[in-house]
Amino acid sequence: MELPHFKWPHFSRIHLGRLHLRRPHGDWPRAGSAAQEPHAPRVQSHRWVARQPYWTVGAIAGFAAGGILMLLELAFSAATGTDPWRAPRLVAAMLMGDPVLQVGGYSLAVLAAALAVHYVLGAWFGLVLAALMAPFRLDSSYGMALLAGAVFGSALYLFNFYLMAAVLPWFVELRGWSTVLGHIVFGMAAALIYRMLEQPARAWLRRGRAPAPGAMKERAGPDEPRDPRP
């Protein structure tokens, strides 16, 4: 009588430090499970985490977005036929006081003061936006960054022309749909620029950072000799 052929299961070796274990293939996770699909899409959580923003990138993003906002303001003035130097005087009044609002027209001193205030505030608001985007991971994608920037710009409009108007009453004159649109574009541009520059900055810091002690030991493959020292 011929005995049935018995096939021994094939075992694979797993190296865990100095401990060697053997497990049959049948014990591995089944095909199609989460462990076998490393490229499965992940849902990004936007809850607060301790994540440091890139302050320099945030300041650059706000500064550049401030330039875009200034171009939009000039375009709106040209399209509506209003005085293009009125908005700079309203901004320069934060430094120079009410007397600059009593006259109109071009003034080099008023323009310089307006540019200084405009770009300093733009860089500052870029830092605030970076401080919000980093811990909540709002820079996880371009779409999320644009949405966060639009919400930030809307909130910034309410803050500037409703809350700050109690201290700077001449800001009421700047309320309107064009200012709302300009602030939304400012927020979206700042968030987009931050998202574009943040990834190269992160990669540059990783390349410039020295490997931590023991990093090469962790990278060693299972069949490579390991350092016998603890």
Q: What is the mean pLDDT of each run of 10 residues along the chain (230 residues)?
A: 52 45 47 47 61 92 96 90 90 92 90 96 97 92 96 97 93 93 97 92 68 44 49
Give the chain as a 3 state SS string.
Answer: CCCCCCCCCCEEEEEECCEEEEEEHHHCCCCCCHHHCCCCCCCCCCCCCCCCCCHHHHHHHHHHHHHHHHHHHHHHHHHHCCCCCHHHHHHHHHHHCHHHHCCCCCCHHHHHHHHHHHHHHHHHHHHHHHHHHCCCCCCCCHHHHHHHHHHHHHHHHHHHHHHHHHCCHHHHHHCCHHHHHHHHHHHHHHHHHHHHHHHHHHHHHHHHCCCCCCHHHHHCCCCCCCCCCC
pTM above 0.85, yes or no: no
- The span from the CA of 7 to the CA of 223, in Å, is 27
Q: For residue 11, give Cα distances in angstroms to 5, 77, 221.
A: 19, 76, 19
Residue 49's pLDDT is 72
CB 117 within 8 Å of CB 92: yes
Q: Which residue has the tokens 């027209």?
A: 105
> Residues of 111-135 as b/e, b for ≥16 C-beta within 10 angstroms?
eebbbebbbebbbebbbebbebbbb
Residue 216's pLDDT is 39
Residue 78's pLDDT is 87
Helices 86-96/55-80 angle, 10° precision: 130
Considering only CA atoms, which of 183, 186, 176, 184 is closest in space to residue 80?
Answer: 176
CB 92 within 8 Å of CB 113: yes
- The span from the CA of 205 to the CA of 213, in Å, is 18
CB atoms within 10 A of CB 4: 5
Residue 189's pLDDT is 98
